[in-house]
Amino acid sequence: MAEATTQARAPTIFDRVVAATPGTPRLEMCIQCGTCGGSCPSGADMDHTPRALFAMIKAGMETQVLSSNTPWYCVSCYYCTVRCPQEVHVTDLMYTLKRFSIQEKYYQDSSSADAPPFSQTFIHYVENYGRSFELGLATWYHLKYHPLDMPKIMPMATGLLRKGRIDITPKKIKGMDNLKAILAKAKELEGEI
């Protein structure tokens, strides 16, 4: 009698996303109720609502999922996560999708291809100063991607500067060495996931 052979199936995008998200993301629990998308402040700019993205993950639409601008427009407010009746870890899943999109270079096809460099510049300020530097970030972003909009933001920036609401140069937080040690440890742990 021929011996039955067991062939391991390749992990799907669903398997990979669940495995790479810390804790128990509960992605399989999504009931497509739409509460997440209805709560999302960035919903209008997203290619797909989180609900739609989760359905696409279940359907194995890897390329479309990882090219979507949705994770890039997620501002990590956690509102969806708090409101989800199924306790799906929507925000954490967005982080995983963003990471995959970078690792596998899908973000270059996304309709928000300028978002990753924006994030990297933001991270540069946080890693070197312990906080964001709004004036530098906004100026860099507009000069690089939307130079024609510069005249529109200048009056607002000048007003904020005059009222002392933003700094003209980046300022380091106290305890920068401690923050650097925390960030280094976080990177080390991320490499282990």
The site string for ligand SF4 over 91-110 (x = CB under 6 A, - otherwise) reads x--x----------------
Alpha-carbon torsion angle 155, 159, 164, 170, nearest 10: -10
Question: Which residues are CB-contacts of 50 (< 8 A; sequence separation ≥ 6)?
Answer: 36, 37, 40, 70, 80, 90, 93, 94
Tell me which residues in 26-55 interact with ligand SF4 (CB under 6 A): 30-36, 39-42, 50-51, 54
CB 98 within 8 A of CB 72: yes
Tell me which residues in 127-186 interact with ligand SF4 (CB under 6 A): none
Number of neighbours of residue 7 by Cβ within 10 angstroms: 5
**Shorter beta-carbon distance to ligand SF4: residue 36 or 157:** 36
How far, in whole angstroms, is CA 58 from its chain's centroid?
20
Closest approach of ligand SF4 to the CB of residue 84, in Å:
3
**C-alpha R_g of the chain:** 20
Closest approach of ligand SF4 to the CB of residue 80, in Å:
3
- 189 in contact with ligand SF4 (CB under 6 A): no
Contact residues toward ligand SF4 (CB under 6 A) are 30-36, 39-42, 50-51, 54, 74-80, 84-86, 88, 90-91, 94
